[in-house]
Amino acid sequence: MKRENVLTWDEYFMGLAHLSALRSKDPVAQIGACIVSKDMKVVGIGYNGLPKGCDDDTFPWGKGGDYLDTKFPYVVHAELNAILNSGTDLSGCSLYVSRFPCNECAKAIIQSGIKRVIYESDKNFYKDTGLASRKMFDAAGVTYDKLPYCVKLQVETEDNN
């Protein structure tokens, strides 16, 4: 008899976004994103991190003080990394991301042809950046849906096997 209680597609792809987020060096926010084609294939995956060649140990990870001494000008967001890592036409694809996209990522999402965003945390949703994202998504016909925070990665150990 087949197993019944398997992950849904949404849980599966958001789960992959979570797995990717575990690679992030950001001490405060680990964000993951996963892009899926219309025929349910994973075509891009990413997390928030520094651009190639920018040393994780040299660039800042803090949030306070002078802007240039914070992480903000340097970190590539998970959504943008997933788009840049994909190397394929993303028309009609869906993007799973653990936090609602900022306005800069929203622009890249729209321009790449992605048509659906599935997000988990709405930390950004009501901020100006999230409002700008929604304004652009609405105009461009990109839909966005919130998933309940139900996907938690469980690493198997000898104890819980």
Ligand X SMILES: Nc1nc(=O)n([C@H]2C[C@H](O)[C@@H](COP(=O)(O)O)O2)cc1CO
Q: Which spans of this chain sit near Zn ion (rule: CB under 5 A)?
A: 77, 102, 105
Q: Which residue has the tokens 């998504």?
A: 137
Task: For residue 151, state whether it binds ligand X (rule: CB under 6 A).
Answer: no
The two tokens of residue 71 are 């992480």
Task: For residue 17, state whether it binds ligand X (rule: CB under 6 A).
Answer: no
Task: For residue 14, state whether it binds ligand X (rule: CB under 6 A).
Answer: no
11, 79, 104, 120: the catalytic one is 79
What is the β-pairing status of strands 32-36 and 94-99? Answer: antiparallel
Per the annotation, the verdict on 158 as an active-site residue is no
Q: Decide: helix, strand or coil at residue 20.
A: helix
Given strand 143-146, what is the order of strands in its sheet? Answer: 42-47, 32-36, 94-99, 116-121, 143-146
Query: In the range 51-80, which residues lie near ligand X by CB under 6 A?
Result: 63, 71, 75, 77-79
The residue from 1, 6, 28, 68 that contacts ligand X (CB under 6 A) is: 28
Helices of type H across the chain: 9-21, 78-86, 103-112, 128-140
Return the one option of Zn ion, ligand X, none that residue 135 interacts with (CB less than 5 to 8 A, by type): none
Query: Applying CB under 6 A, which residues contact ligand X?
Result: 26, 28-29, 31, 48, 63, 71, 75, 77-79, 99, 101-102, 105, 124
